Chains A and B, each alone.
Chain A
Amino acid sequence: MIASGATSLGSREAQSLPEHPLVSIRPSGKWSALNLRDLWSYRELLYFLTWRDVKVRYKQTLLGATWAIIQPLFAMLIFTLFFGRLAGVPSDGIPYPLFAFAGLLPWMFFSNAVTASGNSLVGSSHLITKVYFPRIIIPAAAVVAGLVDFGIAFVILAGLMAYYRVPLVWTMWMLPVLVSLTVLIALGVGMLTSALNVKYRDVRHALPFAIQLWMFVTPIIYPASIVPARWRWALAINPLAGIIESYRSSLFGRQLNWPAITISTAITFVVLAGSAYIFRCMEKNFADIV
């Protein structure tokens, strides 16, 4: 078909082309699986995008990374004043500041991660329309970047626990598991909202509001124990409820609520699988509609 091109003899031409195409571009069906091999080859990009998000987040701010401490600390102080002191919300025998902080820590990670990740695709339209890579990396990087703030706030928690002379307990081995669960549920929700946000810009307005409501149905400023027994099942639907209660149990050496953890884990994985599927279906149109 093309006559002239074959005359150029470059160095690479001597090498024979691979037997099978490296990529075969064609319309993807509805049930296309997550391309894990492709994802793996782009793993370094996840690192670089996360690193960019972390690096840029507090650029040109006066207080810099101190914000990662200020936010949960002030929220804790205000909650202690209004709910702990004035309203007298019980805290299962744990000093209220510590109780609130232990709940706020994973919650703030979750809410910041979901917000950042939900807006991440729309905010990266310049990348999506100009270069190919597995799109899932964008919301994932936004979630992973939140872990840095989470880590900083954890140091404050350790300080608070030392101040209140909370002993180290063996149940703390659960913490890495709980952190992983929190990351996964944040990823699941973040991925879904980011994909929906590309198509329906309503998400941007609904998201802060939804997260605020979600906070109140999660036992952060109050213990799950004040919820009447016949409504506990409703609490169990919210995976964050089980996760956050378990943070406290493992930090303060309480009895771990295994049924709640199991349900939360199951729901987390269902959410993750569901949003990965929806993301995959919507992904192919991102560049056309973003």
Chain B
Amino acid sequence: MKPIIRAEGLGKQFRIGARRAPYLTLRESLAGAIRAPVKLIRGGARESASTIWALRDLAFEIMPGEIVGIIGRNGAGKSTLLKILSRITEPTTGRVDVYGRVGSLLEVGTGFHPELTGRENIYLSGAILGMRRREIARKFDEIVSFAEVEEFIDTPVKHYSSGMYLRLAFAVAAHLEPEILLVDEVLAVGDYGFQQKCIKKAGQVAGDGSTVLLVSHNLAVLGDIARTALWLDKGEIQQIGPLSSVIKSYLSSGRIASGEWRLECAPETTAAYVSGVKVRQGGSISRAEVMIDQPFEIKLTYIVRRTMVFCRVGILLSNSMGTVIFSTAEADDESISPLEKEPGQYTARCIVPGWLLAHDTYYLTPHIDDAPLHRLFTAEQACSFTVVENAPRGTAHYGRPGIIAPKLTWSVCTKDVGDECHLPSARTEFSEAPYCREDMSI
């Protein structure tokens, strides 16, 4: 059978200079033009030092109807690959032949305008995603009912709740019906119910015979939909094949936990960015390990460049399967300043209690939102650490299954012994447990 996507020698080179300063001022460019001949005389060998390959020499074939999960660490080139396939950016080398209509869903709500009504945004966003007007008109009712926004369809979307906004935005994209669908991490936003709906819809699209390429850090979600996985590492294909075997080798590839992360190249354009993340317990932690019974601290440092009226800094904590365990933001604490931020360097700390996370490796994704549900900056799985059990082997708390490991209050009563209530000895400080007494008084 013929592949629907065939890539050969695909590469994408970025100038690191371009990363650090994405745009030049005219003066720099003029100065560069004057200096260029001089540089040429001195030798142009420096060129290679200031460029990096985000993708290098990729070759793969995707068959029609295949659902491919693209996995890899932060900065492995996953998003760059999707951007090339959706023609947003050009490759530096190589070629890709695409034998079908491509629809890309790299963001939920692409092209939405807050001032326009739901109805108007369906048409606008649909057109931007590549739908014909007649096609949108035909699917209009279906989109509206999928999004469950019937009563608000003529209200400007700026008055929508964030859930409604997301549902409508996804509904438009979900009805694109392309032959090839590219999806980037969009399932990471929204509540659980919405995510389930998206996953179901993605599965349905796939059932229709479409080819789907899906980037996700959530391996559990990928497992539900995809059958093939493409593992990228540092811009090169590490492995491609059946999902389960790729995930297996991906997980065992020894992504070494570091407990600390520092941003290498600050993005020049964004109003704010996270410059570092550190996990500490007591002093600095060794080998990125956190004891299960003690609280530990997550320290974020971030830079605000311009005055921001809305700046919410938070973290997402996910486990080794990519499942998000919790997300928290500094604004969760009411005592902390409002969301407005003046320029400067900030340090935020949050304490995670002991006896919360089970024994596993965890990944921290720091992020900054500049509007509700609008990511300004994110560093996917920037930093990782392992929670280890320090209870002696064989005791009650060693090696139990579960995503979290809370130590709960228990009380046990027995009528035979008399009116005494037997509490576990380790928890005597909770001997005031109220309903136990009540129970006994009956």
A232 at the interface (CB under 8 A from B): no
Q: 1/0 per position for A1-25, CB-CB distance to B under 8 A?
A: 1111111111111000110011111
Whether B64 pairs with A12 at a CB distance below 8 angstroms is yes
Whether B227 pairs with A288 at a CB distance below 8 angstroms is no
List A14-51 residues whose CB lies under 8 Å from chain B.
17-18, 21-28, 42, 44-45, 47-49, 51
Q: Given A5-B65, A44-B127, A127-B128, A21 and B98 touching (CB < 8 A)?
A: yes
Report the Cα distance A289→B29, complex, angstroms: 14
Whether A289 pairs with B87 at a CB distance below 8 angstroms is no
Partner among B98, B107, B129, B228 whose Cβ is within 8 Å of the Cβ of A4: B228
Whether B62 pairs with A5 at a CB distance below 8 angstroms is yes
Whether B90 pairs with A25 at a CB distance below 8 angstroms is yes
Report the Cα distance A152→B91, complex, angstroms: 46
A230 at the interface (CB under 8 A from B): no
Q: Given A13-B64, A200-B26, A25 and B98 touching (CB < 8 A)?
A: yes
Q: Which residues of A contact B94 (CB under 8 A)?
A: 26
Whether B110 pairs with A130 at a CB distance below 8 angstroms is yes
Q: How far is the CB of A282 from chain B (nearest CB, A)?
A: 11
Q: Which residues of B contact A133 (CB under 8 A)?
A: 128, 130
Q: How far is the CB of B185 from chain A (nearest CB, A)?
A: 12
Whether B91 pairs with A56 at a CB distance below 8 angstroms is no
Q: Given A24-B97, A60-B115, A131-B104, A8 and B66 touching (CB < 8 A)?
A: yes
Q: Which residues of B contact A130 (CB under 8 A)?
A: 88, 104, 106-107, 110
Whether A8 pairs with B110 at a CB distance below 8 angstroms is no
Partner among B23, B60, B83, B179 whose Cβ is within 8 Å of the Cβ of A12: B179
Closest to A21 in B: B97
Partner among A4, A18, A202, A288 whose Cβ is within 8 Å of the Cβ of B241: A4
B116 at the interface (CB under 8 A from A): yes
A85 at the interface (CB under 8 A from B): no
Q: How far is the CB of B92 from chain A (nearest CB, A)?
A: 6
Q: Which residues of B contact A199 (CB under 8 A)?
A: 23-24, 29
Whether B132 pairs with A2 at a CB distance below 8 angstroms is no
Q: Given A2-B240, A59-B115, A132-B88, A10 and B98 touching (CB < 8 A)?
A: no
Whether B132 pairs with A201 at a CB distance below 8 angstroms is no
Whether A27 pairs with B91 at a CB distance below 8 angstroms is yes
Whether A3 pairs with B65 at a CB distance below 8 angstroms is no
How many residues on the A side are at the interface (Cβ–Cβ under 8 A)? 53
B199 at the interface (CB under 8 A from A): no
Interface stretch (choices B205-213, B292-300, B303-311, B323-331): B205-213
Q: Which residues of A contact B84 (CB under 8 A)?
A: 25
Whether B83 pairs with A287 at a CB distance below 8 angstroms is yes
Q: Which residues of A contact B26 (CB under 8 A)?
A: 200, 202
Whether A5 pairs with B68 at a CB distance below 8 angstroms is yes
List B72-117 residues whose CB lies under 8 Å from chain A.
83-102, 104, 106-107, 110-111, 113, 115-116
B22 at the interface (CB under 8 A from A): yes
Whether B95 pairs with A56 at a CB distance below 8 angstroms is no
A284 at the interface (CB under 8 A from B): yes
Whether B130 pairs with A200 at a CB distance below 8 angstroms is no
Whether A2 pairs with B61 at a CB distance below 8 angstroms is yes
Partner among A7, A12, A27, A201 whose Cβ is within 8 Å of the Cβ of B210: A12
Q: Given A8-B227, A25-B90, A131-B106, A48 and B96 touching (CB < 8 A)?
A: no
Q: Which residues of B contact A12 (CB under 8 A)?
A: 64-65, 179, 208-210
A selection of 27 A-B contacts at a CB cut-off of 8 Å is: A2-B62, A2-B63, A2-B66, A6-B1, A8-B227, A10-B64, A10-B65, A11-B209, A12-B65, A12-B179, A17-B64, A18-B99, A21-B98, A22-B100, A23-B98, A24-B96, A26-B96, A45-B128, A48-B124, A52-B113, A56-B115, A60-B115, A129-B83, A130-B107, A131-B106, A288-B89, A290-B23
The 4 closest A-B pairs by CB, nearest first: A10-B209, A5-B66, A12-B209, A21-B97
